[in-house]
A = this chain, B = another copy of it.
Amino acid sequence: MNYDDAKIKFVSTWGSLGSLWGINKAMAQIQALLFISTKPLSMEDIMEDLKISRGNTSMNLRQLMDWGIVTKEIIPGERKEYFTTEKDVQELARTIAKERSRREIQPVIKVLKEVSSIKDDGTEKTKELIKQTKALHDLTETADDMINKLVSQKQNWITKSLLKLIK
């Protein structure tokens, strides 16, 4: 496989993985493109490479900046804006995990807490609802905590030794 094929394969695979971390295809592809680029890219560059419209590029770049994954790079003397993505995978993972937690997991935890706190009226179905949503609440909270803590270890050694521990 040559460079161009590998690049296309990587960008499209990473794009389709977007759903896994809750973003759309174009957004994931733009990030992928920046991730393997040796230099900042302009909107032109991205549109051309991914064959997507200017509007689409603009909107998705904005979202990526909202996520804190992509930053605008001002190149002195240049009129155009250039973009780069976080190049360190650990840091990237940390940012994504944090954002997903904030955007999606926290609100669910809140609802689960609410629902599992309703008054026990003594009926079997109420008892079951409370019991099951409480269990889900605990699990979700623990998992969220763990992901955030693991992923925020900047040094990799802790992760590695943890992995050994649980093997």
Chain A positions near chain B (C-beta within 8 angstroms): 1-3, 6-7, 9-10, 13-14, 17, 19-20, 22, 35-38, 87, 89-90, 93, 100, 104-105, 108, 111-112, 114-115, 118, 121, 123-126, 128-129, 132-133, 135-136, 138-139, 142-143, 145-146, 149-150, 153, 158-159, 162-163, 165-167
Contacts and interface: CB of A to CB of B under 8 A. Distances in A.
A10 B145 contact: no
A40 to B, nearest CB: 13
Contacts of A6: 114-115, 118, 129, 133
Given A89-B132, A142-B163, A162-B166, 7 more contacts: A3-B121, A3-B126, A13-B112, A20-B105, A20-B108, A89-B138, A93-B139
A122 B36 CA distance: 15
Nearest to A10: B115
Contacts of A105: 20
A71 to B, nearest CB: 17
Nearest to A156: B142
A38 B165 contact: no
A19 to B, nearest CB: 7
Contacts of A7: 129
